[in-house]
Amino acid sequence: MLHLEQLSKTYKTGETALHDVTLDVPKGQILGLIGPSGAGKSTLIRCINRLVEPSSGKVLLGDVDLAKLGKADLRRQRRRIGMIFQEYALVERLTVMENVLSGRLGYVPFWRSFLRKYPPADIQRAYALLDRVGLIDHADKRADALSGGQRQRVGIARALAQDPELLLVDEPTASLDPKTSRQIMRLLTEICTERGLPAIVNIHDVPLAQQFMQRIVGLRAGRVVFDGAPDALTEAALTQIYGEEDWNAMRAGDAEQAAAEADARDRIAALAK
């Protein structure tokens, strides 16, 4: 379904975020992308729908190479890829309904979106999706009136409104409490299974990844250093991904992030005993 070939990204600052990443995601597979911050997880999924321009390599979705498309073609192809964001990225002053309908923007002409005159089928689909994520009663509320978990469910409905063939999910639970995180992950995996949707999920929380993902890819300094089933993610594999003790000093400026990763590692260590 999705095939990445020797995908590389070097930022203008000279920092290489991705280095020859080659990856295959078959239909229906839910893939968890783990790795320390700065490993290139966000860059990788943003290179797929080209919110970040890859420097070289191929991004094949079906048989279309997304990396080569012009502006108009890119917009048309982006409709096939739904994206779910860290911190939800809902347009806060718009209603829940408008946020869900914004998933249809790639399909409707400007005047329809401007006047909020979406085709009846789109509106019906939006209601169906809101019902699926359990928010049908909140359709007319402003997005900023919802709680974190509810907002992320709107984010999921928005991505699904695109009728996508692939989901890109960037840290879906980063700002949620553990219980809500699990609920969101369960909803995501259920929906992917229902529709046979492949998904790439950036995720910080290693135990959560092991619980919900079918396959784990470990990224370190822009290279794939692990690729296997969640069970194969041993202590040694985690050390390879996250590095030895010195990762603490390495990420001094990102102490909070590092603390979260340390926490994840400790919990894994506890599980392994």
Q: Which residues bind other proteins (CB under 8 A)?
A: 49, 51, 75-79, 81-83, 85-87, 89-94, 98, 102-107, 110, 113-114, 155, 158, 162, 168
Give the residues across from 5 on adjacent strands. Answer: 58
Decide whether 61 or 224 has the Cβ nearer to other proteins: 61
C-beta of 131: minimal distance to other proteins in Å?
A: 21
As a whole number of angstroms, the distance between CA 185 and CA 205 comes to: 11
Give the residues across from 167 on adjacent strands. Answer: 82, 199
Decide whether 32 or 155 has the Cβ nearer to other proteins: 155
Closest listed residue to residue 78, CA positions, set 37, 110, 50, 36: 50
CA 119 to mean position of chain CA atoms: 28
C-beta of 269: minimal distance to other proteins in Å?
A: 33
Overall residue count recorded for the chain in this entry: 273
C-beta of 74: minimal distance to other proteins in Å?
A: 8
Decide whether 89 or 136 has the Cβ nearer to other proteins: 89
Instruction: Write the single-letter amino acid at 195.
Output: R
Contact residues for 74 (Cβ-Cβ < 8 A; gap 6+): 50, 66
CA 82 to mean position of chain CA atoms: 9
Decide whether 79 or 223 has the Cβ nearer to other proteins: 79
Decide whether 166 or 206 has the Cβ nearer to other proteins: 166
C-beta of 113: minimal distance to other proteins in Å?
A: 5
C-beta of 174: minimal distance to other proteins in Å?
A: 12
